[in-house]
Structure 1
């Protein structure tokens, strides 16, 4: 497989994530991760078994993502992808970017880790407020 093929596969993987998040398809979202995958935001890291509750608690809307910057390194890669999320009921926006790690698996490229960074109106970049998700609700 060429580097171009790898990049296209990773871009399609990230497109599946964005479309699945927009549609609320939790199973498809989980399918883009490695079994040991994790998501980081709100000052914490969530393993995949906690991700459905995190998605359920999150606002619903449109996930608009840009083309990722990806650095390939054999069967692993790292990347950053810009995000603009538009909440569905009031069209409020959240902007930021994901910092990712990827792994080539027998099923193809998968996200191993995804960490969200929000860009605030002040210009600050942070991972969110720790109280934005309550793990005790699930």
Structure 2
């Protein structure tokens, strides 16, 4: 059985893999990898994007990702301040997030909170619920450039 410290580390890596899988839209980086995202969720997991929508189960999450990529072709997550609580084979985590995105031909900066629920599976920790609450948003200057 893993120690709580090992569990926390694995959950931090799960969230980092999430960011790497959903980010994209610039040269040299594979964008919006739905298969990689789905591998991070349980089969019946849910992605609740709050104001941005969401999906239930792998099919719903895949559909949500396709919509999200069309709406936000560029996405870059910075996630910090993890508060992770492990209770046996279940865990909760709260994270602060700063997201730079493009949407509707406008660069935007979003800040918010992720509240996640994870479960330990035979393949490691997986999201049962990934939930984002938008706290604030602003448009970035028109001369903002994506490389």
1:114 to 123, 126, 130: 130
Contact 1:11 1:67 in 2 (8 A): no
CA distance in 1, matches of 2:36, 2:81: 20
Aligned length, in residue pairs:
121
Question: Offset at 1:53?
Answer: 2.1
Q: Residue 107 of structure 2: SS of its match in structure 1?
A: coil
Contact 1:79 1:99 in 2 (8 A): yes
What is residue 51 of structure 2 aligned with on the other side?
A: 42
Q: Within the alignment, does 1:20 sit opposite 2:29 as a pair?
A: no
Counterparts in 2 of 1:74-89, with a 5 A limit? 74-88=88-102
Q: Residue 64 of structure 2: SS of its match in structure 1?
A: helix
CA distance in 1, matches of 2:47, 2:62: 11
Mark the runs of 5 or more structure 2 residues left unpaired by the alignment.
Answer: 24-30, 138-147
**TM-score, normalised to structure 1's length?**
0.80
Contact 1:102 1:112 in 2 (8 A): yes
Task: Give runs of ≥4 in structure 1 deviating > 3 Å.
Answer: 42-45, 88-91
Q: State the Cα RMSD in Å.
A: 1.8
Question: Offset at 1:67?
Answer: 4.0
Counterparts in 2 of 1:48-67, with a 5 A limit? 48=57, 49-58=59-68, 59=72, 60-67=74-81
Mark the runs of 5 or more structure 1 residues left unpaired by the alignment.
Answer: 122-138
